[in-house]
Amino acid sequence: MKGKVTVNRELRLKHGIIGNDNTTTTNDDSKSKTVQENISKLVTLSAGDAGLIHLREDIGNLDLLQTFINYCLFHFCTSMNWRYKAYSTLISDIFTESDKALCMLLIENNASDYVKVMNNKTKISRKFAQPKYTKVDNTSKKFKGWNRKGIQRFNVLVRAVKLSRESSCSKEMEIELKSRYQKISGRNINNDNYDSNDTESDDSGDDDMQAYDGFAGVIQTRSSTSVTLE
């Protein structure tokens, strides 16, 4: 939770589209502070019972949602896809419901440790970490992945994400986010200078990189929204 804000998806979007190949770091202290504050708020929310389920229910959370996308959810998308889709495609068409649900679950799983890191300004070793859904108390047992409560929580999050995406507030937030990314990239798909030929992406290779939407040993199709418990 300390240090400067380095290259994130916004900067990758800006320099990847415009053509500046130089890696840059923002030294704007106020922006760095704002991002850190937003990340702290996301961690605090994740540590609560509801987690980030209600993030899309209030337009006032737009900056928090953008921070969540830029620093957490973006790991579920290739850099190439992001560069060519973020300014012309809604977020829900870039990331699946399972993508977002798993991202939220990962943060929730370690949220209590993140809170301790923020409050104590110190790192926590793996030995003393207390993840919510992956800790094996009996040291004689080998780690076997997510526990039953973690899988159940994942299913709850998938359903919650699906419902939230259908709300008018959520759709408004996505349109505003796309507008922001258009400004960052220097492109406006509504103006006369926009060339649709510039938006080619790496979709041709998507069949060879099929997303792993489920977890705990279950591979799902894009339309699937739950994991079957054995």
pLDDT of residue 16: 41
Q: What angle do CA 68, 70, 74 make, to 5 degrees?
A: 95
Task: Compute the distance between CA of residue 35 and CA of residue 28 in angstroms, rounded to an integer.
Answer: 11
Least confident piece of the model among 36-40, 97-101, 153-157, 197-201: 197-201
**Does the pLDDT of residue 120 top 60, yes or no?**
yes
pLDDT of 56 > 60? The answer is: yes
3-state secondary structure of 200: coil
Supply the pTM of this predicted model.
0.70
Collapsing DSSP states into helix, strand and coil, what is residue 84? helix
Q: Is the torsion defined by CA of 18, 20, 21, 22 positive or negative? A: negative
Does pLDDT of 226 surpass 90? no
Assess contact for 180 and 66: CB atoms under 8 A.
Answer: yes
